[in-house]
């Protein structure tokens, strides 16, 4: 039997929760005990009564949830939670350590075993996939256009451009950097809204796949500095969708290039939790999502899917639950029996063990 804790998320306006009542029910049926912090699921539409009916115990405060053997969260621990970290704890959540040295140091010092959703990796058909990152990438990619369209509205400080245009007035222009899951989903929504869309990627094979998906509806360009320099100033909405697993993405758009964009245009960098690919963009929050720099609105909320917690919590649990069950049933032995889960291990026994994060912090 494993004691599992589900704390309430404390990141700004983060309404997702680590486990849904249906996930709790399955774990309890397998003989495990689950302690869910009171109101942890309320923002996603799940009441304490829902969890009790599923077999959970309701923890009156965060400390009780964190006292369990295995803690399942959504977002990385914040400073107020560092005191809960300890050597006999297994933590399973998004971490994105490459952009957060302080958290990395705290995890190492505490001795916690920290497994990151975004690092769980499988190989299928010769291609590396990240099954626990993918569902949130789909949602964030789609939201990037939804939020970008909103902040293009004049009342929000934008240019006042309607992405779809109307007969007689050309549509807005969306430029997307990166053709992975985020970029593909951003393009899908932008095309659906009727925008003019250009997508840049360094993988020619991926561009070929995207041509089969979008045909001539998306301008597909090989990403190199001159192509970026030509495309970015034409964008009403620029979406950063560059992922380098475990590391900070390269800075593709320098301040000088941002300065060439139209006043009131919008930048959304979905990979801001890993550092982002746009020099002028820094993390923001759902409470204060945008700021203006070089005349351009910058949107850098690192937990975008938290805006749609009913959808995103269930989507995330659909992917994480099999791994949670493995950890509950097998303990740390699961890292030996499941190669995909082992790839997710970032910190163990006071050591930083993930190779990509080691490259970011070689001194650690």
The Cα 254–Cα 239 span in angstroms is: 14
The Cα 193–Cα 326 span in angstroms is: 41
Cα pseudo-dihedral 53, 54, 59, 63, rounded to 10? -170
Sorted by sequence, the CB contacts under 8 Å of residue 200 that are 6+ apart come out as: 175, 176, 177, 178, 179, 221, 222, 223, 227, 228, 231
Best CA proximity match to 23, nearest among 324, 234, 231, 305: 324
Buried b (16+ CB within 10 A) or exposed e, 59-94: beebebbbebbbbbbbbbbeeebeebbeeebbbbbb
The Cα 300–Cα 284 span in angstroms is: 5
**296-299 and 290-293 strand pairing:** antiparallel
Q: What is the DSSP letter of 216?
A: G
For residue 34, the number of C-alpha atoms closer than 13 Å in the C-beta half-sphere is 31
On whether the CB atoms of residues 279 and 310 are closer than 8 A, the answer is no
On whether the CB atoms of residues 32 and 10 are closer than 8 A, the answer is no
Concatenating the DSSP letter of every residue in 274-311 gives: GT-SBTT-----SSS-EEEETTEEEE--TTGGGGSHHH
The Cα 117–Cα 113 span in angstroms is: 13
Give ∠ CA 119-125-126 in degrees, rounded to 5.
65
Q: Give catalytic status of residue 273 as yes or no.
A: yes
Q: Give catalytic status of residue 338 as yes or no.
A: no
Active-site annotation holder among 273, 298, 338, 354: 273
Active-site annotation holder among 32, 96, 298, 354: 96
Instruction: Tokens for 91, please give them.
Output: 């933590």
Question: Catalytic site residues?
Answer: 96, 273
């Amino acid at each position: 039997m494993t004691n599992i804790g589900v704390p309430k998320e404390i990141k700004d306006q983060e309404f997702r929760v680590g486990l849904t009542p249906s996930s709790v029910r399955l774990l309890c049926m397998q003989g495990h005990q689950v302690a869910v912090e009171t109101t942890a699921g309320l923002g996603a539409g799940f009441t304490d009564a829902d969890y009790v009916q599923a077999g959970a115990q309701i923890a009156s405060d965060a400390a009780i949830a964190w006292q369990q053997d295995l803690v399942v969260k959504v977002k990385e621990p914040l400073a107020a939670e560092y005191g809960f970290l300890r050597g006999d704890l297994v933590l399973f959540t998004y971490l994105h350590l490459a952009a957060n040295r302080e958290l990395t140091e705290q995890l190492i010092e505490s001795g916690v075993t920290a497994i990151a959703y975004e690092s769980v990796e499988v190989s299928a058909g010769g291609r590396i996939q990240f099954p626990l990152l993918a569902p949130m990438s789909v949602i964030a990619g789609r939201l990037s256009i939804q939020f970008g369209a909103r902040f293009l509205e004049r009342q929000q400080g934008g240019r006042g451009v309607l992405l779809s245009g109307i007969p007689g007035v050309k549509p807005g222009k969306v430029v997307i950097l990166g053709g992975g899951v985020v970029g593909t989903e951003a393009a899908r929504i932008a095309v659906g809204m009727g925008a003019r869309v250009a997508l840049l990627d360094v993988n020619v094979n991926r561009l070929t796949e995207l041509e089969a998906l979008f045909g001539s509806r998306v301008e597909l360009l090989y990403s190199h500095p001159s192509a970026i320099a030509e495309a970015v100033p034409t964008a009403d909405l620029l979406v950063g969708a560059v992922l380098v697993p475990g590391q900070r993405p390269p800075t593709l758009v320098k301040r000088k290039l941002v300065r060439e964009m139209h006043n009131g245009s919008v930048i959304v960098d979905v990979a801001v939790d890993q550092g982002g690919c746009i020099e002028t963009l820094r993390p923001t929050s759902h409470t204060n999502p945008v700021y203006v720099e070089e005349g351009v609105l910058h949107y850098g909320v690192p937990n975008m899917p938290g805006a749609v917690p009913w959808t995103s919590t269930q989507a995330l649990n659909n992917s994480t639950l099999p791994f949670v069950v493995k950890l509950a049933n097998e303990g740390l032995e699961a890292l030996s029996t499941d190669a995909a889960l082992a790839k997710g291990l970032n910190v163990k026994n006071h050591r930083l063990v993930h190779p990509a994060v080691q490259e970011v912090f070689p001194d650690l």
